[in-house]
Structure 1
Amino acid sequence: MRGTGRDGADTEMVVAARDGDPQALDALVAASLPLVYNVVGRALRGHADVDDVVQETLLRVVRHLADLRDPAAYRSWLIAITVRQVRDREQQRRAALTHTADLDSAYGVPDPAADFAGLTILRLGLTDQRREVAEATRWLDDDDQTLLALWWLEATGNLDRADLAAALGLTEGHAAVRIQRMKEQLEVSRSVVRALRASATCPALRDVTRTWDGRPSPLWRKRLARHVRECGACGSWARDLLPVDRLLAGLPLLPIPPGTAENLAAATTALPTPVEPLGGGPMPGTGGLRTSISFGSKSVLGPICAAATVAALVIGAIIVAQPTLPLI
């Protein structure tokens, strides 16, 4: 059976939840939460909106589970909804920036304390080149962040290429092209990270970064990458980089942060009952499917609280069992 991850939801669970089994719904949301959190967190780079988007995504999934025609396609459906919510939030953020840029130009800068790359390093105990990969993700273009989130999960065995492509509305071939371009930028970023660590050995690099504010950005990635290519000393630091796919293989999902359960539970109080399908009508391909279950605030409160708690405990156990992940 296909699931949401290595230990994700199987088809029987999805069918039971869709047909109104509250215990199955508990289990389904619990299995889905880590995947949704990791996609949203990495796509938004730990922005303060992450919790809101996670809860909006899961509430939307619970509300409209009756619209899912093919239970075997649940994971693709889940990720597609997640990507849609991320894109909607990014559009809202960019629209807000155009109106408030003069008042608060830092709105779009992730809080360093919540930066997802930093959390990945901290909570997964990454070492050596795995740490550098996480740091390099900060340098990617904004449009590559969602793709990175999905590909990272594919590389760690929590998603497959068909689900990734479906979530982006692409063919697998087109998805492969976009992933390759993103990986090339990631490799360039890794060389920049490595060179900056050794910047004390290169006076020319110190001159290049004299006006840099220390924040990773695509513009500075290009400037620094140009120096790395042209500088024999800095270029030498990138010669022993292992393939990023190998470095990511086998990593667990990032554990759910404290407070997620409470935030999700509070959001359920606004849920309407009974629930109508997306857009006031059945989704294409659902055949007008309805179920008798009523996803009201009381019935959803338990599942989402349980989901956050169970996911945190299960993934936390993985981290405790593997405090330091050796290089492959």
Structure 2
Amino acid sequence: MVLILSGVEPKSGRRCIKGVSTREGTLEGGRSVVDEQAVIARVRAGEPEAYAELVRAHTQVALRAAVAFGAGADAEDVVQSAFLKAYQGLGRFREGAAFRPWLLRIVVNETRNTVRSAGRLRALADREALLLGPEPLIPESADPAVAAVREERREQLIAALDELSEEQRQVVAHRYLLELDEAETAEALGWPRGTVKSRLSRALAKLGRSIGATGGEEHE
């Protein structure tokens, strides 16, 4: 999967980014090992091509966020637009802050604008794709009975997520589907950390009750 950022004009007007490919960057423990502050400093100093390092490191999570909030087939376009806006907004980026939650906030806003302008709601297929991840958790050769159980549990989870409020779905998606920590989730959503903690607690309790109730009925 390749997205191209081309013709991005830095504030200096002297140089532009050409052919920046958005591929997943090097990860360590599931997180980027790019020195974000150093990269941002290089871009601000007149080296716009350095931005490609941030693009490569954060493309996968940006795509997951776009899909999670309903971008569907437009996910790549949404992510490309978000990276462009993030690049253009680096002058407003707070020094020392984490780039990942700031970028995801832009991605989510871009996704909402895209969905709103198209008049579409988030598709069930998109949510399923996000929950399953980029690769199947159970190979095709696995025991069909095991696969059937997995499918059943996935449907239960999707149904349970639909019962949450919008705020609860957002905090669950950011903490677990996008794998942000509590502080990053608070920054991405623009909420106090206490709000993140309380809404997450209520969301998980509700999910537990919904899934537990469904499972209990099946085993009676």
Normalising TM by the smaller chain, what interval? 0.5 to 0.7
8 A Cα contact 2:63 2:79, kept in partner: yes
2:52 to 26, 29, 39: 26
Secondary structure at the counterpart of residue 31 of structure 2 = coil
Q: Does the alignment pair 1:178 with 2:204?
A: no
Q: Does the alignment pair 1:116 with 2:135?
A: no
Unaligned 5+ segments in structure 1 are 97-106, 196-227, 229-233, 238-328
Unaligned 5+ segments in structure 2 are 1-27, 139-145
C-alpha separation between the residues in 1 aligned to 2:110 and 2:84? 11
Q: Match for 2:55: what amino acid?
A: V
8 A Cα contact 2:69 2:111, kept in partner: yes
Secondary structure at the counterpart of residue 20 of structure 1 = coil
2:61 to 24, 31, 35: 35
Q: How is 1:97-136 mapped onto 2 (pairs within 5 angstroms)?
A: 107-108=120-121, 110=123, 112=125, 115-118=126-129, 120-121=131-132, 123-127=134-138, 134-136=154-156
C-alpha separation between the residues in 1 aligned to 2:79 and 2:48? 21
Deviations along 1:108-161, whole A, 9 cap, x unmatched? 36263xx3324543733224687666544422237144333201146xxx4221
Q: Match for 2:171: what amino acid?
A: L
Deviations along 1:5-45, whole A, 9 cap, x unmatched? 6124322122223333244211111112112111221222x
1:164 to 170, 185, 188: 185
Q: Does the alignment pair 1:138 with 2:163?
A: no
Number of residue pairs aligned between Structure 1 and Structure 2: 178
Deviations along 1:74-112, whole A, 9 cap, x unmatched? 22322222233234345445xx3xxxxxxxxxx536263
State the 1:61 CA deviation.
0.9
C-alpha separation between the residues in 1 aligned to 2:102 and 2:123? 28
TM-score (norm 1): 0.46
C-alpha separation between the residues in 1 aligned to 2:74 and 2:169? 15
In structure 2, relative to structure 1, the CA distance for the partners of 1:117 and 1:36 (3 Å cut) is same
In structure 2, relative to structure 1, the CA distance for the partners of 1:7 and 1:147 (3 Å cut) is same
8 A Cα contact 2:115 2:121, kept in partner: no
Q: How is 1:66-85 mapped onto 2 (pairs within 5 angstroms)?
A: 66-85=91-110
TM-score (norm 2): 0.64
Secondary structure at the counterpart of residue 126 of structure 1 = coil
1:6 aligns to what? 31
1:53 aligns to what? 78
8 A Cα contact 2:82 2:110, kept in partner: yes
State the 1:175 CA deviation.
0.6
In structure 2, relative to structure 1, the CA distance for the partners of 1:179 and 1:191 (3 Å cut) is same
8 A Cα contact 1:15 1:71, kept in partner: no
C-alpha separation between the residues in 2 aligned to 1:24 and 1:169? 28
8 A Cα contact 1:43 1:145, kept in partner: no
C-alpha separation between the residues in 2 aligned to 1:180 and 1:120? 20
Pick 1 or 2: higher relative contact order, CA cutoff 8 A, min separation 6. 1
Higher-Rg structure is 1
C-alpha separation between the residues in 2 aligned to 1:50 and 1:90? 10
Per mean C-alpha deviation after superposition, the further-off stretch among 164-173 and 9-18 is 9-18
In structure 2, relative to structure 1, the CA distance for the partners of 1:39 and 1:13 (3 Å cut) is same
